[in-house]
Structure 1
Amino acid sequence: MTFPPARLQEHPRERPDVGPGVLTVALFAVAAFGVLGLALWFGGGTPRPAIEGLPAPDVVTMVGLPAVRLLHDVCAVATVGTLLVSLWAPAEQAGRIARSAGPWALGWAASAALTEVLTLSDFLALPVPETLSSGVLPTFVFHIPQGQAFTLVGLLALVIAAGAYLPLGTGARAGLTGLGVLAVLPPAYVGHSASAADHNLAVSSLMLHIAAVTLWVGGLYGLVTRLRGPVAAVRRFSALALCCFTAAGFSGLVNAWIRVGDPTQLWQSRYGLLVLAKIAALAALGWFGWRHRRRTIVALSSGGGSRPFLRLATGEIGVMAATLGLAVALSRTAPPEASGGVGHQHELLGYVLAPFTPGGLLTVIRPDPIVLFAVVGAAVAYLVRVRRLAGGWPAGRTVAWLIGSLVLLYGLAGGVAAYGPAVFSGHAAQYALVGTAGPALLALGAPLSLRLAVVSRPLSHPLTALGLYAAPYLLLYLTGCFDLAQSSLAVRLVAQAVVVVTGTLFFAVALGVDPLPRAIGVSIRVRTLLGAAAVQVWIALLLFTGPPQGAGWYALLDLPWAPERAGDQRFGALLGPGISLAVIIVLLALLLGRSRAARRRLADQKGG
């Protein structure tokens, strides 16, 4: 596959190297598959002689499964990276670059289908022809989590392939890129980390790790083969790469700690040695990034040409490719045996939870890597923006944003996050914090003024914002989604992200700290906040008088120390909406006080 090089706008006299796409892909393949073979041999994942009398997959499966899985990952990375750099390309090139992601997405879908067949062959310990003739494949595809995951990936990849050929605008291409990032996550959710000692933490860290690596590796690949290093795009990617490096390193260490357990296993087991090799590769990639920031980006900015950047980036892609091969081999290597077992509640919750005590709300924590990275990253981004203003930014806004970030951290990773899936009142308190209190404080921090977010005109309508604020609670408590959100880590994370985003949007519209695309009077803002109060009253009445929520989930959980469920739901009906109502009342008072102060200033100016 060849890639037509983009024109070097900054240096029109500089001729790009011949065939950069072919050379880069060749380097990628040699490094990735070479390291994959070596790591499989070292970790014990290569084919072994079959034991007489026992079923075993054939050599095609033993060799083909890791190879196809690596091909699957490469296609995913190239698809997402190509779509990503299309967002940075000039308008006349963006559509062509996005279309070039189509073949990669088709390869992604095809490799997902092959992975399903080979994975089933590996599960059944049967050669591929016998696996296909067994009649088990439909059951595996539609009813077994591993099969369902790759079926979903294949379908999403086909959607991305179709979308890549459409004449999409920047927003639609950004959505397609985001869909690509989501499409790499299902295998992580059902992979080996799902059986780790703390599988919620292991799965979250692995999903964050894979998403960061996909954007990082894919973005650099697209930058080198499609844009050929324009300085504006390189600067954008450099900021993204730093975030991805931090996320990949942090989440990778968390996942390795869970999987390895005893630190001595890092050098006493083959799995641990492969982990150390991956850490060394990450350190090497950190050096590449440092070198780019110190040398090649400076050369680009000063008119020194893109050749130094492209040469160093091509070597970096080789190391990244080798790391992808190492990661696939690591997934085929058995980790050290963990000591101890897991109890009934551990298997359902995904972690060990001590009996509830009021003090446990302060001492028990559930540090989710995705949550930590998102909230801390947003706080850091806010502080960086404020610092660039060089004064003039109200300190109260910064304080509000930071306190809101702390509220979200506690609500998403503190005691209420730990007990929320097991105790309804904990869930109610959690949603009051992450859906109302935290977002209100974030909105008081004026993130739109710092360009940390953008609100379109349709979303800035008060009725739209109020509807989005109420919608998650309607879905949770009226459609039966509550059980799913309590029992599934992925659904729970999505639901929590939705209430944070919709809550922040609502309070940004209702409070008017930020300038919006439409003018909204104080009386309308007051009525909008009163509408939110009515939503919370409705939630309280529904929970207090309505049917039990999560009865099936709590029956399966069967915690011996759990409170009486009906009484706990009534307590939660008062606790969660009560917290939210208190916050809304304070905001109403703040809004009315600010309005009176503005009228007095206007009257003073007229009188003067």
Structure 2
Amino acid sequence: MGDAGDVAAPVRRPGPWRVARFAALFVAAALVGVVVGTWFTGAALPSLVRDAGAVVRWGLPVVETLTEVVGAVVVGALVLAVCVLPRRDDEAVSRRGVRAGVPRADGSAYPVSLRVAAWSAAAWTVTSVLHLVLSYANVAGRSPAEPTFGDELWLYVSQIEQGRTLASAVVLAAVVTALSLVVRTPTGAAWTLALAVVSLWQLAQLGHAAGAASHDLATSAMFVHLVGAAVWIGALVALALLVRSVGRDLAPAVARYSAIAGWCLVAVAVSGLVNGWIRLGSWADLGTRYGQLLVVKAVLLVVLAGLGLAHRRRTIVGLSATPEPRTWLFWRLVLVELVVMGAVSGVAVALGSTAPPVPEDPPAAPTPAYQITGHELPPELTWAQWFTQWRWDLVLAFVAVAALVVYWRWARRLARRGDAWPWARTASWTVGMLVFLWTTNGGPSTYGHILFSAHMVQHMVLAMVVPVLLVLAAPVTLAMRALPVRSVALAGDASRGPREWLLTLVHSRVGQLLAHPVVAAVNFVGSMLVFYYTGLFEWSLRSSVGHLFMVVHFTAVGYLFVNSLIGIDPGPRRLGYPQRLLTLFATMAFHAFFGVTLVSGESLLVADWFGLMGRPWGASAIADQQTGGAIAWGIGELPTLAVAVGVAIAWARDDERGARQRDRRTRTEDPELDAYNAMLKSLPKS
């Protein structure tokens, strides 16, 4: 034990001119890609109606490319600070020492990553302002030099949805800049990263996603695409900018980045396929300028996938082979990869500026349902339609599939090292995520925007059925056993990987508060009242962000509540079994009250939504709402009864264990004899 791990050969770091050269190559490739793509598709040709000028026509795609590039660097640098770059903890090293053969964390690059994020966010703010100005100039066909342009721009920002979205992106970029300058911990970096991701969500609603016939799917696919590309590209660019500071932490940092890049590749590929499927009417449309540009982007993506595979198979192994990092191995692949990434970014912007083969115009005579929801009415609801009608949300579908893959990999990892994990828990998780996938993308999602009763089915399944299945799977317990501890592989590393972040969330004050049985119960029953009798319900219907909030909130609240009753995952201080049953009976009474209120109510919730749908089939809106109340009562009671049975069984088993322990003590000890002997010893000797 000692500090021998601190002794290492001097690290040869590349000069700043080399780092700047590679960054310039990346930006240049992006600009060349967007210019060539825009020229190829003719997206910058003069408008026949009102033309804002060549500066606006060519400047908009160039500025949009720069905005995406620097935004990706912001996201990437924050991802490095949140979960990739090692952080040195000298106190832990002095307390525990360094085991022989275990390298010691350098940690020099971590604070630099936050400075890179801050400077990139400042550039992001500037380019976002330019993007806003040029976007209005292009839409209105007005030159920014015209005297009234400023007043018109203010009206665009304050009254037009697209203008408000672009303005919010500017504000968020400025806030991210300020926060990146002051945060110092992974938690602060995580909150800053969350704001940057919110900005990407805003941008996902623009362009072709805003006008596509499948608006919800297009928006979610574009969000997955933007986030995946930003993390993938931005983290690599940020890592290249930080090479001079990373030092001997380069090998673990590249290995951690590689794992993240693999998930990003899947996200970008799947969302790209979905976007192409939405905007191409047939295989013949691949012959159009838009289709040809899409093929070029797909080929470049395949090249990037091959380079990423080479990273994993050669570069990471080579970097880990010697104590001194061989940075030339890193640069050998990064040079080509960054150039290809830049070209992909430019081509993507050119695609966004080009009209797709499938027209984006709304129907000539839209139905009331289309005007309200953006979708035509589905067929009349029958039992078969619950399972044959699907309206995909790529964000939630990706979460469900990723959760399945991760859980299976953790269970397989335990099996490989000889540890047992009950197959019933794996089966429970699998069924739970499949039910979650169906609820958020199948019949309940399709009809949940049309019928209040179908919405209530979706809500009750998310809040009452899915959480029971997930709690029985004990995912946190499995993660604690399967995920590695970072400080074991790299001494003194205080960074947070998946295991460390999970522990941070479970043991944080907020996590402990929300997981407390009483708080979880109050949140479980109270949030339902707040949701349906305030504007949150309408927000969830009209906004994709609101719908995502509803899904995440009620699934998480249901998990915390059920886990406090029958779960084995760490977190809550569980009540005694009698108190748990009393809590369950109280929630059953509330569900009965809530359901009866809806069944007997005559006031329609969100009347200008459900009441104006123009359905030619099914019951009236108020009758359907009363049916939804009955569903809330029925579906809410059945899982609660099942949980109550589980609590009773656990109580009986706990009593049996206690009886067996008392019985074992009785066999080895005789309490009455011991008491008699103690009494004899206490008597005075005669």
The answer to whether TM tops 0.5 is yes
Q: 1:437 pairs with 437, 445, 465, which one?
A: 465
2:65 is matched with: 70
Matching of residues 134-149 of structure 1 within 5 Å: 135-149=151-165
Once the 2 structures are TM-superposed, how far is the Cα of residue 9 of structure 1 from its aligned partner?
A: 8.7
Q: Output aligned runs, 1:355-366, within 5 Å.
A: 355-358=379-382, 359-366=384-391
* Corresponding residue to 1:165 among 181, 184, 194: 181
Residues 58 and 128 in structure 1, CA contact (< 8 A), matched pair in contact too: no
The one-letter code sitting in structure 2 at the alignment partner of 1:245 is: L
CA separation of 1:280 and 1:409: change in aligned 2, threshold 3 A: same
Match of 1:3 in 2: none
Which of 102-111 and 305-314 deviates more?
A: 305-314
How far apart, in 2, do the equivalents of 1:170 and 1:296 lie?
A: 27
Of 236, 260, 284, the residue aligned with 1:240 is: 260
Q: Of the candidates 543, 552, 561, which is equivalent to residue 598 of structure 2? A: 543
Matches within 5 A, 1:475-490: 475-490=530-545
Higher relative contact order (CA 8 A, sep 6+): 2
Conservation of the 8 A alpha-carbon contact between 2:288 and 2:357: yes
Matched residues, percent identical?
Answer: 31
Give the conservation status (yes or no) of the 8 Å contact 2:211–2:360. no
Task: Give the stretch that moved more between structures: 118-127 or 54-63.
Answer: 54-63
1:129 and 2:152 aligned: no
1:401 to 429, 433, 436: 429
Structure 1: any 5+ residue segments left out of the alignment? 1-7
Aligned to 2:351: 330
Shift of 1:12: 4.5
SS of equivalent residue, structure 1 residue 490: helix
SS in 2 for 1:328: helix
Q: For residue 85 of structure 1, report the CA deviation from its aligned partner.
A: 0.8
Between 54-63 and 212-221, the greater mean CA deviation after superposition? 54-63
Offset, 1:586: 0.2
Name the SS for the 2:145 alignment partner: helix
1:292 corresponds in structure 2 to 311
Indicate whether 1:385 and 2:410 are aligned: yes
Q: Confirm or deny: 8 A CA contact 1:60 1:128 kept in the other structure.
A: no
Partner of 1:314: 335
Bigger Cα displacement from structure 2, 488-497 vs 541-550: 541-550
Contact kept in structure 2, 1:95 and 1:167, CA below 8 Å: no
Q: Say which is worse superposed, 308-317 or 522-531, in terms of deviation.
A: 522-531
Corresponding residue of 1:5: none
Kept in 2: contact 1:472–1:498 (CA 8 A): no
Residue type of the alignment partner of 2:421: W
Q: How far apart are residue 386 of structure 1 and its match?
A: 0.9
Residue among 548, 551, 556 paired with 1:493: 548
Kindly state the Cα deviation for residue 596 of structure 1 after the two structures are TM-superposed.
0.5
Deviation per residue, 1:68-122 (Å, 9 max, x gap): 1111111211111111111233156433421331121122222222212111111
Q: In the alignment, what sits opposite 1:57?
A: 52
- Following superposition of structure 1 onto structure 2, how do residues 66-465 of structure 1 map, counting pairs within 5 Å? 66-87=61-82, 88-89=84-85, 90-91=87-88, 93=108, 94-130=110-146, 132-133=148-149, 135-226=151-242, 228=246, 230-266=250-286, 268-303=287-322, 305-338=326-359, 342=363, 343-344=366-367, 345-358=369-382, 359-390=384-415, 391-451=419-479, 453=502, 454-456=505-507, 457-465=512-520
Q: Distance in 1 between matches of 2:71 and 2:33?
A: 19
Structure 1 contact 109–157 (Cα < 8 Å) conserved: yes
Against the structure 1 CA distance between its residues 538 and 301, is the aligned structure 2 distance closer, same or farther, given a 3 Å change threshold? farther
Q: Which structure is larger by alpha-carbon Rg, 1 or 2?
A: 2
Q: C-alpha separation between the residues in 1 aligned to 2:634 and 2:112?
A: 54
My pick for the range that moved more, 527-536 or 400-409, is 527-536
TM-score, length-scaled by structure 1: 0.93
Answering whether residue 578 of structure 2 is matched by residue 523 of structure 1, we say yes
CA 130–519 in structure 1, closer or farther in 2 if over 3 Å, else same: same
Deviates more, 1:338-347 or 1:21-30: 338-347
2:487 corresponds to which residue?
A: none
Q: Over the residues paired in the alignment, what is the CA RMSD in angstroms? A: 2.3
Q: In 2, distance between residues paired with 1:118 and 1:27? A: 25
Task: Give the Å deviation of 1:339.
Answer: 9.9
Shift of 1:439: 1.5
- Residue 631 of structure 2 corresponds to residue 575 of structure 1: yes
In 2 relative to 1, CA 296–396 (structure 1 residues): closer, same or farther, beyond 3 Å? same
8 Å CA contact retained: 1:224, 1:314: no
Write the letter of the residue equivalent to 1:462: P
Change (3 A) 1:84 1:340: closer
Q: How far is 1:537 from its partner?
A: 3.0
Shift of 1:134: 6.3
Contact 2:211 2:361 in 1 (8 A): no
CA distance in 2, matches of 1:525, 1:306: 58
Deviations 1:418-459 (A, max 9, x none): 000000000000011112211221111101112374423233
Deviation at 1:544, TM superposition (A): 2.9
Q: Would the aligned equivalents of 1:208 and 1:247 in 2 still touch at CA under 8 Å?
A: yes
- Please give the alpha-carbon distance, in whole angstroms, between the structure 1 residues aligned to 2:360 and 2:151: 38
Residue by residue, what CA displacement relative to the aligned partner does 1:307-347 show, whole Å, maximum 9, x if unpaired?
31233123212211111111111111111144996342335
1:595 paired with 2:651, answer yes
Q: Conserved in 2, the CA contact under 8 Å of 1:146 and 1:191?
A: no
